[in-house]
Amino acid sequence: MANNALTLELKGEVEDLLNAYVQCIDDDNLESWPDFFTEECLYQVIPRENHEVGLPTAVMWCDSRGMLQDRITALRHANIYQVQWYRHIISNPVITTEDGDTFNVQSNYAVFKTCNDGESTVYNIGRYVDVIVRDNGVLKFKERTAIYDTHRITTLMVIPV
């Protein structure tokens, strides 16, 4: 793929976005999480098992920033679950761009979950496949797909990955 436009500066800018995104979730600043996306966006968390054979069902599937905000509203005000924290570890990303404005990015992630009883577990492992664009000068996710290898979700997923 043509990758003429990727400069060190742009690479740093994309990496900053990826890092800020997971820091936002892990620091429980979830009200700010939708701001990482463009107004029209697609965020999905989908099992690899479905994705590989073209089955579209995901476990989270938001196609507007409003739906992302609704996820957080439900998490804060409606859903009942054990208090839990995530720690994301993400890999160095592979970045391609043709024009320096739209980036196709892939990175691996591991999410460790710790519940309020102090027990830490490997919770969800997968890769992010992203389309990142410049929105009023700032890089945002137009699409973020988390494709997880983990065969089954343990108990529930309330916090986005």
**What H or E segment, with its residue span, contains residue 78?**
none
Hey, what are 21's tokens?
Answer: 């995104």
The reply to whether 78 sits near another protein by the rule CB under 8 A is: yes
The reply on whether position 105 binds another protein by CB under 8 A is no
Which of 3, 4, 82, 91 touches another protein by CB under 8 A?
82
Going residue by residue from 15 to 34, which x/- string records binding to another protein, judged by CB under 8 A?
--------------------
Site track for another protein across 114-153, x = CB under 8 A: -------------------------------------xxx
Whichever of 65 and 140 has its CB closer to another protein, that residue is 65
**CA 39 – CA 65 distance, rounded (Å):** 5
Q: Residue 61 is inside which H or E element, if any? A: strand 60-62
Render 97-151 in DSSP notation, one character per residue: ESSSSEEEEEEEEEEEEEETT--EEEEEEEEEEEEEEEETTEEEEEEEEEEE--S
Phi and psi at 75, nearest 5°, equal -60, -40
Smaller CB distance to another protein: residue 4 or 79?
79
Q: Is residue 70 a contact point for another protein (CB under 8 A)? A: yes
Least distance to another protein, CB of residue 47, Å: 7
